[in-house]
Amino acid sequence: MPSLARAQFDIALADVDALIQQAKSFSKGKRGAPASVAGVVRPGRSFTHAAAVLLAGAIEGYVEAVVTETATAQKLTTPQMKELKERVKASHGASVRHVHGLTAHIGLPFVLDTIGWRGLPAGGVRTLLDELSTRRNKVAHGAAPKGARVADVERWRKLAARFADELDTKCAAAVMAATGATTAPW
């Protein structure tokens, strides 16, 4: 059973999937899009940009929610929870530094260095967050690339779901270690 944060993340992933499908609709389900449709240059690009921004935001929200959920289950003190909530409020984006800063509060410093799986090269999660943060920032600040590949967004979406599964497992283990519980909290 996933954490509440992971269940909420699935809802956001469904929205990302819808944007990916919309982007593909301009190319009859293929990954490439026509140069223009009815005078609109690269009509699927806005959907891939939107999907990347939504995915970056969803990862940020997921990490913040799962860390808060973990801290609550660990029964952190009121001052510790207050500090964590201030950190969540003060930081923005799904950067590596943001994730490490938050997870350190729950006893998982540098957690991204411990997450990986077969087929994901060393540093793959860091690369995912860096790529998504960079794309999100470019879109948000008007410097988005003219080419916005559906394949990139599909890859990020797949990696994000697996990352969330792995982080959920790490957070559950952190709760068990902190509380002495013998069963996972979720």
With tokens 């793959």, the residue in question is: 124
Q: Is pLDDT above 90 for 20?
A: yes
**Structure-token pair, residue 19:** 């944007």
DSSP letter, residue 115: -
Report pLDDT for 91.
Answer: 78
Structural domain includes residue 184 = no
Query: Which is more confident, 48 or 29?
Result: 48
In angstroms, the CA 101 to CA 36 distance is 43
Structural domain includes residue 186 = no
Structural domain includes residue 12 = yes
Can you give the three-state secondary structure of 17-67, one letter per residue? Answer: HHHHHHHHHCCCCCCCCCCEECCEECCCHHHHHHHHHHHHHHHHHHHHHHH
Average pLDDT over residues 102-114: 96
DSSP letter, residue 93: S
Q: Is pLDDT above 80 for 144?
A: no
Report pLDDT for 115.
Answer: 95
Q: Is pLDDT above 80 for 30?
A: no
Contact indicator for 166, 117 with CB cutoff of 8 Å: yes
Q: What range defines the domain where residue 116 resides?
A: 4-179
Structural domain includes residue 72 = yes
Report pLDDT for 169.
Answer: 97
Pick the range with the lowest mean pLDDT from 33-47, 86-100, 141-155.
33-47
Phi and psi torsions of 40, nearest 5°? -90, 120
> How many domains are contained in the chain?
1
Structural domain includes residue 45 = yes
CA distances from 148 to 47, 91, 139, 167 (A): 9, 27, 10, 28
How many other C-beta atoms can be found within 10 angstroms of the C-beta atom of residue 24? 19
